[in-house]
Amino acid sequence: MSEFSRHEPRAQQVMDWSAAFWAGIFAGTIFLLFLAFVAPLFSPMNAWVYLRLIASIPLGETVLAPPATFDAKVLTSAILTQLLLSISFSIVTAFVLHRWGMIVGILGGAVFGVCLYLINFWTLSYFFPWFYPMRGWEVLLGHLLFGALAGGTYEALEVEEFELEEATA
């Protein structure tokens, strides 16, 4: 057997699902707090408008009717929807970036957050046209923050595990 035909088994890093889950919870919570307390400072919309827009994904556009005030059903729906989406997006971020480390996690996550904003507000707003008013730099900044936190938190929580690839004869 030739020296070139033998393949040594290699260790391959596997994704830490628990770290991805908790990164999504953390980044999603910070994103919601950002929309509730920071974005309204730079936008004509109040915090309840942002939360109602998120809740409109599962509940429909009827929750957008004025007044944009507290509603427990809307708040619960917004939180659950945001956290489910955040966990999903954090898993995607972790899957793509889990091999590289903290700096790539943060910077790559930030790029992912910007891409997520572009997808959400420049394509999905076709299906949810009431999202159009959320297009703006403050929501873009929130998505950038979400991505950076999701990637960085994943890398901080990740327990690095490796599995051996099968050797081929």
pLDDT tens, per residue, the chain with 169 residues: 455 555 666 767 788 999 999 999 999 999 999 999 999 999 888 889 999 999 999 999 899 888 888 899 999 999 999 999 999 999 999 999 988 899 999 999 999 999 999 998 888 888 888 888 788 999 999 999 999 999 999 999 998 777 777 655 5
Domain-located, residue 11: no
Which domain covers residue 66, as residue numbers?
34-161
CA-closest candidate to residue 88, choices 146, 162, 33, 24: 24
87 falls within a domain: yes
Total number of domains constituting the chain: 1
Whether 130 contacts 64, CB under 8 Å: yes
Q: Is residue 3 part of a domain?
A: no
Please report whether residue 152 resides in a domain. Answer: yes
C-alpha closest to that of 79 among 62, 94, 57: 57
CA distances from 79 to 19, 45, 74 (A): 20, 18, 9
Please state whether beta strands 11-14 and 161-164 pair in parallel, antiparallel, or not at all (unpaired): antiparallel
Kindly state whether residue 7 falls inside one of the protein's structural domains: no
